[in-house]
Every structure is written in structure tokens, then in C-alpha cells.
Amino acid sequence: MRWGIISDVHGNLQALEQVLRAVDAESCDELFFLGDAVGYGPQPDECVAVLGDRVVLAILGNHDDAVLGRTNPFSFNEYALRAALWTRRTITSETRAAIAGYTLIGRREGDLFVHASPANPRAWEYLLSIREAERQFAAFTEPFCFIGHSHMPGGFILTPEGRITAFRPKRLLLDDQFRYIINVGSVGQPRDGDPRACFVLYDREKGLIEFKRVEYPVERTQALMAESHLPDFLIQRLQKGY
């Protein structure tokens, strides 16, 4: 069984389409989505519709929750706020209903899926340090927890002795004695200095995790954002992946 795991699409249909092509080329059996279908990008309706057709599990992200009017977008930075308010005005009632069906916590075959963090999924915490990972590993029992949210691919490994190490995105041969928190990165707005869309391929038989990068026509997304008068900072950052 081969799983594709994607997150943080953020209304970037150009990136999503290329990732889905790559997922198909890798002959994935099932596709999982870890939240933030919308926010920042210019095609929220299209992204939500495409995800609805393709994924077996859709997790709720903070930007999704904000357009439903639950997470307060005024807690976001200025650019994210402007994009969230634009998205809320723009999306159709079908899109809103689809997002309302996303779940906060997912489980499949003994693995755990959340948008931000397993300890308190609705607090939208950023899991970026070993110290923070220690607290998070203590909050769940599954061998694997897949997350998104920070748009920083990579993760943390916990050994049976209780030692935690961080890892950068790479080919990761899994050890069944270890537990893992794996951040699958972002499809629609990478922030690790690589502007290419990111996703994870998980081969369960081989016990192998691979981080994949996919080129997409960034300038097409940028042009659509400019047409919709989305903030220039958000348009520029796609090119550099920050």
C-alpha cells in the first residue's frame, strides 16, 4: 500500500494539479490531506472541489476554520488576515459545506493525522523544536503522527530510550522500534527556501518515507493572485519559497 500525504494547499490550484500528477505517477493507492485547503491563494473553490474528489481523509486547518468563522482570522498576521477575509467573501456555499465536513483528527491503519499538533489540534501550535516535540510525543500513542501547518517539511524521531532527533526532508527508512512525527510540507506555499510544491510518499510495505518536490507554473498562480488583488507580499513569496 502506497500513501500520498499532502497539506497546506492554500488555494493554489496550479501547485495542486502538478502534485496530483506526481501522486498518480507514483501509483499511490490512497491520498490523505492534512488541512488548509484555502487561504493565501486565488482558487479556493477549485482546490476544495479537486480535493473532495481525490482524498480519503480531509483534515481541518486553521485557515479552513477561519473561513468558516470559527478560528478568529484577526489572530493572523496582516497578509493572512487579508487573504482569509477575501477567501471568506469569495467562496461558494458548496465550498463552505465541504470544508465544514473536514475533521480535526484522523486515524487510519493505526496512524494519526492532524493539521498542527497532536497535543491540542485546535490550538494551532507550531511544532518546530525538539523540546516541543517531546511534549507532543507524550500526547499520543500511535507510532506515526503526520502533520502540516508550519510548511516546513521534515520531522522528529523518538527512540525506545526516549531520545528525540530532528530530521530534514530525506529518504527515511523506518524502524518499527521508533515513533515519528512527520511534517509533509506545503503544496501551495512552501517556506523552506524551495519554491517547488512538496508532498510525502509513504510506502507501507517497504517502510519508506520519501519527500517529493514538484515544479509548477508559479507565475500563473501569481497572475491570478494579482487579478484578485491579494497582498503583494503573498504573491512574491511563492517565487522564493519563504
Query: Which residues in this chain contact Zn ion in the complex, by CB under 5 A?
Result: 8, 36
The amino acid present at 16, given as its one-letter code, is L
Q: Residue 45 or 174: which CB sits closer to Zn ion? A: 45
The amino acid present at 190, given as its one-letter code, is P
What does the alpha-carbon distance between residue 238 and residue 241 come to, in Å, rounded to a whole number? 5
Work out how close the CB of 11 gets to Zn ion at its nearest, in angstroms, rounded to a whole number.
11
Work out how close the CB of 126 gets to Zn ion at its nearest, in angstroms, rounded to a whole number.
10
Work out how close the CB of 183 gets to Zn ion at its nearest, in angstroms, rounded to a whole number.
11
Using CB atoms within 10 A of its CB, is residue 97 exposed (0-12), middle (13-18) or buried (19+)?
Answer: exposed
Q: What is the largest CA-CA distance in the chain?
A: 54
Work out how close the CB of 62 gets to Zn ion at its nearest, in angstroms, rounded to a whole number.
7
Cell of 77: 498576521
For 124, residues 6+ apart whose C-beta sits below 8 A from its C-beta are 62, 71, 115, 116, 149
Work out how close the CB of 218 gets to Zn ion at its nearest, in angstroms, rounded to a whole number.
17
Q: Residue 83 or 112: which CB sits closer to Zn ion? A: 83
What does the alpha-carbon distance between residue 19 and residue 214 come to, in Å, rounded to a whole number? 6
Q: What is the DSSP letter of 207?
A: T
Q: Residue 36 or 192: which CB sits closer to Zn ion? A: 36
Q: Residue 11 or 158: which CB sits closer to Zn ion? A: 11
Work out how close the CB of 188 gets to Zn ion at its nearest, in angstroms, rounded to a whole number.
8
What does the alpha-carbon distance between residue 218 and residue 241 come to, in Å, rounded to a whole number? 10
Helix ranges restricted to H, the chain: 13-25, 44-54, 62-67, 78-90, 93-100, 130-137, 218-227, 232-240
Work out how close the CB of 151 gets to Zn ion at its nearest, in angstroms, rounded to a whole number.
6
Q: Residue 114 or 164: which CB sits closer to Zn ion? A: 114
What does the alpha-carbon distance between residue 159 and residue 165 come to, in Å, rounded to a whole number? 9
Instruction: Let me know the angle formed at the C-alpha of 53 by 50 and 58, rounded to the nearest 5 degrees.
Output: 85
Q: Residue 151 or 213: which CB sits closer to Zn ion? A: 151
Q: Residue 8 or 125: which CB sits closer to Zn ion? A: 8
Cell of 87: 477567501
Cell of 233: 507580499
